[in-house]
Chains A and B, each alone.
Chain A
Amino acid sequence: MNNIAGSRSALVWIVNLCVLGLVCLWLFPTFGLFVSSFRTADQIATSGWWRAMFASEQNLTLRTAPPESQVQQGDLYVIEGNLFGDNPDAVISVWGVSSRDIDAYTPGETAELRRGGEITVQADGGYRLVNTEAFEGNRGPRVFVTATTPPELTFQNYKNILFDPANVDGMAKAFFNTLTVTIPATIIPILVAAFAAYALAWMDFPGRALLIAAVVGLLVVPLQLALIPLLKLHLGVGIGKSYLGIWLAHTGFGLPLAIYLLRNYMAGLPRDIIENARVDGATDFQIFTKIILPLSFPALASFAIFQFLWTWNDLLVAKVFLIDASGQTTVMTAQIVELMGTRGGNWEILATAAFVSIAVPLLVFFAMQKYLVRGLLAGSVK
């Protein structure tokens, strides 16, 4: 008995560990990007995000103050200051004055400058430059330092991306464009589909079975086929590339799933309710609006989430039916792809932009997960 219990608890432990591993594996990539979006560009570029909480060592190229700030002390010309500016929080371990030898000196030592004069650098970045002749030129000499900077998490990236009016990479506009696409493209198909689903579920007419089969068939038609014919159509009737165009397109593409989900759900409602209402003299229209719609709320909600996620995350349909030469209608997904092209190495921008676009669907996801799961279970053909 003991033996069995022992092996059982060992098994439970293994299962727990396996699940933990799986969850970490699935969470890690997103978490990495999330952490990165709070780090500065330098930090992201020089150390992995998993070191975000540790001090990082960086090689920096800094300059002293320009010669115009020199003062004469006796027969010496002196420039003094701090390499890190006004708020030094980094600690210098080694430094140098030539790009060929960046770790030649330790803090406190004095180096000869090639153009004449000497420089002494302290661990906190303070320096003193002395020469017997006046310094010339319009810039101070370069100092190469290896410094340990404390970890720093910042909201600056988000500020830049969302609120900086001068920022051409701004996501704020794209965010509103996405919202403008998403909301009508979610609501309109629900209405259209709900009526059709009711007809397919509870009304008798010839050809009903055939129509249901057609809807199931259209469920898997790749929307790729629709791109050129519909773009041609839209250009032909004068809609062109516009919000109206993409709303219509998303409505069309979302309908099969909407009808299918809602019909399945409505067909499962108890027959008595509807029969009773009919006997009481209610018309189909009344039955639909007063009884069926309220009862179908869970199915409506799950389709709404699907359609919302799908339209929010879509790239292809937006590229074809909405985004035009004016650049005024870029949605977030397209904006991020552009950023990957033009700012490939600037992870602070990319990570932040990606998170701005991911945040809303994640919120919806966690808040409405129940309906999403229900919809999935009903939606996959049994």
Chain B
Amino acid sequence: MDHRLLAGSAALALIAGAAQADKVTVFGPWLGPDQENVEAVLAGFAEATGHEVAYVGSDSFEQQIRIDAEAGSAPNVAVFPQPGLASDMAGEGFLTPLAEGTGDWVRDNYAAGQSWVDLGTYAGPDGADNLYGFFYKVDVKSLVWYSPENFEDAGYDVPTTMEELKELTDQIVADGETPWCIGLGSGGATGWPATDWVEDMMLRTQPPEVYDAWVSNETKFNDPAVIGAIEEFGAFARNDDYVAGGAGAVATTDFRDSPKGLFSSPPQCYMHKQASFIPAFFPEGTVVGEDADFFYFPAYEGKDLGSPVLGAGTLWAITNDNQGAHDLINYLQSPEAHEIWMARTGFLTPHKGVDTSVFSDPTLKKMNDILLGATTFRFDGSDLMPGGVGAGTFWTGMVDYTGGKDAQEVADEIQSSWDSLQ
């Protein structure tokens, strides 16, 4: 408690240094209920500092922020859903480096702190590396969803290692049932759920350094390490016995429809791997924690790679410099800023100083524990790759792979598309 008070008052002290009240505009991707949540946090900021603050949310954030920046009408603070765009804009000189000391603070106070600093550090227009982005609100992707009652009916236990998970998968098949629901369909973005699988498999078969090298293309996409991870995913997704509807249905099943198989009668599948946001697409009336629950997508016991966690998060950056914007980033370092949203819904944080008892429901707390217990945290790699790969050929390549194409062939194609970007 003392620790929290200290951190809070330190932030306030910093803020009190601000001479006059500024108008701070914040632009982000959140609409609807999430907009109310972020506005509650910003109201806390306004109250604590006396700055005036306004938030605008947009569905097409990525396109709009670029147009606004080029037109010279950027907001003070932009909330990027993925680092790739922020990195580009930092290089073009649209972002202002964060105040000195912010990096040290993140390193000390966030779980897997160095990962977060690295993710927010980019080369500026002059080529020098600076911390531009501060992470606030993150998602965990390494989760497997299941129906506890169905597990109970069948007498299955939650697996804690990858070996056990594979055993359970075979057990379910032996019982004449189908273990997994996998769906990659997502309209124009079809294929992305598979990229999460491959990334999680990378972290479970290779040390984190290899993952980083892969994301920056120092390790080529058609490297045996990457192909190994793709094939690990294929071991689940390309096995007709393992997937509801057979391997052929994987690419076409919509990712939003896919988890519904857990709750159908009789169950079409028993497990579904997806990020923390997926309960929004469960059938109406499904209560997380009772009808549905999740467990950590486990690591191989035999590989000694710790318990890696794959995630994503929103990154706050200053797109139009003023004191108020810096004060806002400072405010986000106080536990209070995290606890306001924690007490509402859908918020996870790597901040070690927060009081996790304020979480509005036990599920979120359990997810946050996975995050805090991570020995390695890695950001969704496809978000870090160039758009043409991470939001292009990687997606389509995975669709081709689940359709039966050879992993080597797919990886070669993705690599060549990456080469053509340089």
Contacts A98-B153, A99-B154 given; indicate if A61 touches B187 (C-beta within 8 A).
no
Q: Which residue of A lies closest to B290 (CB)?
A: A139
Q: Which residue of B lies closest to A98 (CB)?
A: B153
B264–A59 CB distance below 8 A: yes
Confirm or deny: B52 has a beta carbon within 8 angstroms of a beta carbon on chain A.
no
Contacts A99-B150, A102-B266, A344-B185 given; indicate if A327 touches B31 (C-beta within 8 A).
yes
Q: Which of A99, A139, A326, A338 contacts B265 (CB 8 A)?
A: A99
Max chain B Cβ within 10 angstroms of own Cβ: one of A61, A98, A99:
A99
Q: Which chain A residues in 113-165 approach chain B with CB under 8 Å?
A: 114, 139, 142, 144
Q: In the complex, A144→B59 CA distance in Å?
A: 40
Q: Which of B147, B154, B185, B266 contacts A59 (CB 8 A)?
A: B266
* A residues less than 8 Å from B31 (CB atoms): 327
* A residues less than 8 Å from B266 (CB atoms): 59, 99-100, 102, 144
Q: Which chain B residues in 45-93 approach chain A with CB under 8 Å?
A: 56, 58-61, 64, 67, 71
Confirm or deny: B300 has a beta carbon within 8 angstroms of a beta carbon on chain A.
no
Contacts A99-B150, A99-B265, A324-B64 given; indicate if A344 touches B32 (C-beta within 8 A).
no
Q: Which residue of B lies closest to A145 (CB)?
A: B265
Q: Which residue of A lies closest to B257 (CB)?
A: A345
Interface string of B116-154 (1 = CB under 8 A from A): 000000000000000000000000000000010110111
Q: Which residue of B lies closest to A236 (CB)?
A: B71
Q: In the complex, A142→B186 CA distance in Å?
A: 32
Q: Which of B58, B59, B149, B254 contacts A99 (CB 8 A)?
A: B149
Q: In the complex, A21→B418 CA distance in Å?
A: 51
* A residues less than 8 Å from B44 (CB atoms): none
Q: Which residue of B lies closest to A144 (CB)?
A: B265
B188–A100 CB distance below 8 A: no
* A residues less than 8 Å from B153 (CB atoms): 98-100, 114
* B residues less than 8 Å from A235 (CB atoms): 67, 71
* B residues less than 8 Å from A139 (CB atoms): 290
A325–B64 CB distance below 8 A: yes
Confirm or deny: A211 has a beta carbon within 8 angstroms of a beta carbon on chain B.
no
Chain A contact residues: helix, strand, loop or mixed: loop
Q: Which of A325, A341, A345 contacts B56 (CB 8 A)?
A: A325
Q: A348 to chain B: closest CB distance in Å?
A: 12
Q: Which of B61, B254, B263 contacts A345 (CB 8 A)?
A: B254
Max chain A Cβ within 10 angstroms of own Cβ: one of B71, B150, B177, B266:
B266
Q: B291 to chain A: closest CB distance in Å?
A: 9
Confirm or deny: A213 has a beta carbon within 8 angstroms of a beta carbon on chain B.
no
Confirm or deny: A27 has a beta carbon within 8 angstroms of a beta carbon on chain B.
no
Q: Which residue of A lies closest to B68 (CB)?
A: A325
* A residues less than 8 Å from B59 (CB atoms): 325, 327, 338
Q: B17 to chain A: closest CB distance in Å?
A: 34
Confirm or deny: A340 has a beta carbon within 8 angstroms of a beta carbon on chain B.
yes
Q: Which of B32, B71, B147, B188 contacts A341 (CB 8 A)?
A: B188
* A residues less than 8 Å from B257 (CB atoms): 344-345
Considering only CB atoms and an 8 Å cut-off, how many residues of chain A contact the other chain? 24
Confirm or deny: B256 has a beta carbon within 8 angstroms of a beta carbon on chain A.
yes
A102–B32 CB distance below 8 A: no
Confirm or deny: A60 has a beta carbon within 8 angstroms of a beta carbon on chain B.
yes
Confirm or deny: B267 has a beta carbon within 8 angstroms of a beta carbon on chain A.
yes
A344–B58 CB distance below 8 A: no
Q: Which of B58, B147, B187 contacts A325 (CB 8 A)?
A: B58
Interface string of B376-390 (1 = CB under 8 A from A): 000000000000000
Q: In the complex, A344→B260 CA distance in Å?
A: 13
Q: Which residue of B lies closest to A60 (CB)?
A: B265
Q: Which residue of B lies closest to A62 (CB)?
A: B265
B265–A61 CB distance below 8 A: yes
* A residues less than 8 Å from B264 (CB atoms): 59, 61
* B residues less than 8 Å from A61 (CB atoms): 263-265
Q: Which chain A residues in 328-344 approach chain B with CB under 8 Å?
A: 338, 340-344
Q: In the complex, A46→B60 CA distance in Å?
A: 34
Q: Which residue of A lies closest to B33 (CB)?
A: A168
B267–A99 CB distance below 8 A: yes
Q: Which of A102, A142, A340 contacts B187 (CB 8 A)?
A: A340
* B residues less than 8 Å from A99 (CB atoms): 147, 149-150, 153-154, 265-267
Q: Which residue of A lies closest to B284 (CB)?
A: A41
Interface string of A1-33 (1 = CB under 8 A from B): 000000000000000000000000000000000
Interface string of B21-47 (1 = CB under 8 A from A): 000000000011000000000000000
Q: Which of B32, B67, B188 contacts A168 (CB 8 A)?
A: B32
* Other 17 A-B pairs with CB < 8 A, given A144-B265, A344-B257: A59-B266, A99-B150, A99-B153, A99-B266, A100-B153, A100-B154, A114-B152, A139-B290, A168-B32, A235-B67, A325-B56, A325-B60, A327-B58, A341-B187, A342-B256, A343-B256, A345-B256
Identify 19 residue pairs between A and B in the complex whose beta-carbon atoms are under 8 Å apart, listed by A's number: A61-B264, A61-B265, A100-B153, A114-B152, A114-B153, A142-B149, A168-B32, A235-B67, A235-B71, A324-B64, A325-B59, A325-B61, A340-B187, A341-B187, A341-B188, A342-B256, A344-B187, A344-B254, A345-B254
Q: Mark A residues whose CB is within 8 Å of B.
A: 59-61, 98-100, 102, 114, 139, 142, 144, 168, 235, 324-327, 338, 340-345
Q: Mark B residues whose CB is within 8 Å of A.
A: 31-32, 56, 58-61, 64, 67, 71, 147, 149-150, 152-154, 177, 185-188, 254, 256-257, 260, 263-267, 290
- A-B pairs, 10 with minimum CB distance: A325-B58, A345-B257, A325-B64, A59-B265, A341-B187, A61-B265, A98-B153, A344-B254, A99-B153, A99-B150
